[in-house]
Amino acid sequence: MVSSEAAPLAKTGGLADVVGSLPAALQACGDDVAVLIPRYGSIALKGLRRVFDHLPVRLGSARYDCSLYQAPGEFPFYLLDCPPLYGRKGLYGESGVDYPDNHIRFAVFCRAALAVARGVFKTDVFHCHDWQAGLVPAYLQTFAGDPTFLGVKTLFTIHNLGYQGLFPKTILPEVGLDAALFRSDGFEFFGNVSYIKSGIAFAGAISTVSPAYAREIQTPEYGFGLDGILRSRAGVLSGILNGVDYRDWNPETDQFIPARFSAHDLGGKRVCKERLLAELGLPPEAIGRPLLGIVSRFTRQKGVELIAEIAADIVAQDVCLVALGAGDPKCEESFLRMAAEFPGRIAARIGFDNALAHRIEAGADMFLMPSRYEPSGLNQMYSLKYGTVPVVRATGGLDDTIEEGAGFKFREYSGAALLEAVRAALEAFENPGAWREMMLRGMAKEFSWKTSAAAYSALYQRLLGRP
């Protein structure tokens, strides 16, 4: 697996959760898996084992001195070290600004993946994740005659089509890409180089992280301009829902929450709610009223503006809202403004805080995900397990995972539609018996990796032409 993130070492979103937990599930299917990510500045060398010196990576006329480390764990987890490129504070940028050399950073990363496959971990299938790994299939085209890669296949998984890795054409010589592949059925995208399109155009198979999103990205509404090429590759495109790692997300064993609970004994959930209210400075009297939770990257994708639109209406229903997130400064400000306007009702925490994310999942009664689009979404699945009833927009993985009776869905992307769904949830909350039934239905749902890993494993076998 070639990925820019893998939990727990490097995470900004769901991609990390997937690459952090899928390998072990694949091992259980009998697959032999290794993972490669860059060693970012935030990953300490202490505890890592140096396994390869001077991995040769040449791009155009430049040479990058890379080495390879391995993290301890159940499977070979490799980290590509090249301090001038990756030894920085952020993964992709700082203070909301992308690093200007991301095209080089992730080109070197992809070329290094080939070198790793040549010298360290011989692979049958490169499973490439998102645009940061999108050049692997293009480079493999260039090395088509190389016996090392004879019969080697590629799977490209789209976790989010909204991030594409777009760069001007002038980078071509710098990143050692074959100019002959700069064409509309290759990695050319309206005159620019698109790393994600390289993955889509040249991979042997493409997958995305839910069946609904696999259909949606073939339409102009959700296709970000790539719906055409995705339709042309529909025959090799499939949707495999993300699984949840229930070792990390389980209210019966969760070490981050103040009290544990289960479907048989929900008592701990009330403790979690009490403590969460106190932690976020909300009044203890709110314990009897619905508490809405949000944990999200703050971007336009996640529907932050819809929440701002209905904040006053929610508060008017004598309801509290807690939000944790970071990202787009405008979205962050929007939440801080809501918190300032409705003290004692709305609390916002800006930042990335895994422990607090767990405490919100455990302590809230409802979880809001009004996403504009949502490839898979994990938080709604975590919410189900924690008896926190999801209120979601019916799109992508949210539509696939939230069924009537375990959550609330709305279709139109508007504040009015969201408010209607929230109102329905609040009304249901007033009937404690029925609400409890609803919580229990959600808690009984399983989105474990077992099914999804088997689907990936079957896909690898199909790619390799094995029955």
Q: Give residues in contact with ligand ADP (CB under 6 A).
A: 13-14, 17, 295-297, 324-326, 352-354, 357, 376-379
Least distance to ligand ADP, CB of residue 385, Å: 12
What separation in angstroms does the CA of 410 have from each of 155, 176, 254, 390, 424? 33, 47, 31, 11, 10
Nearer to ligand ADP (CB atom), residue 82 or residue 241:
241
Least distance to ligand ADP, CB of residue 368, Å: 12
Least distance to ligand ADP, CB of residue 14, Å: 2
277-280 own/partner pairs: CB under 8 Å, 24+ apart = 277/320, 277/363, 279/356, 279/359, 280/322, 280/347, 280/349
Residue showing tokens 């993985």: 397
Nearer to ligand ADP (CB atom), residue 14 or residue 407:
14
Amino acid at 364: A
Least distance to ligand ADP, CB of residue 134, Å: 17
Residue showing tokens 């996403």: 371
What dihedral do alpha carbons 190, 191, 197, 198 form, nearest 10°? 160
Nearer to ligand ADP (CB atom), residue 153 or residue 359:
359
Task: Tell me 404's DSSP state.
Answer: B
Residue 444 CB-density burial (10 A; 0-12 exposed, 13-18 middle, 19+ buried): exposed
Least distance to ligand ADP, CB of residue 459, Å: 20
Nearer to ligand ADP (CB atom), residue 5 or residue 81:
5
What separation in angstroms does the CA of 181 have from each of 150, 200, 223, 352, 386? 20, 13, 22, 39, 48
Least distance to ligand ADP, CB of residue 206, Å: 18
Nearer to ligand ADP (CB atom), residue 113 or residue 357:
357
Nearer to ligand ADP (CB atom), residue 102 or residue 299:
299
Least distance to ligand ADP, CB of residue 15, Å: 6
Least distance to ligand ADP, CB of residue 139, Å: 26
What does the alpha-carbon distance between residue 457 and residue 288 come to, in Å, rounded to a whole number? 47
**Tokens describing residue 389:** 């009833």
Nearer to ligand ADP (CB atom), residue 152 or residue 304:
304
Question: Which position's Cβ is nearest ligand ADP?
Answer: 14
Nearer to ligand ADP (CB atom), residue 8 or residue 281:
8
Least distance to ligand ADP, CB of residue 357, Å: 4
Nearer to ligand ADP (CB atom), residue 328 or residue 353:
353
What does the alpha-carbon distance between residue 95 and residue 329 come to, in Å, rounded to a whole number? 9
- Contact (CB, 8 A) for 134 and 195: yes
What does the alpha-carbon distance between residue 215 and residue 306 come to, in Å, rounded to a whole number? 25
What separation in angstroms does the CA of 108 have from each of 49, 81, 136, 174? 21, 11, 10, 10
- Give the list of residues 6+ apart from residue 395 with CB closer than 8 angstroms, or none: 212, 216, 371, 372, 373, 374
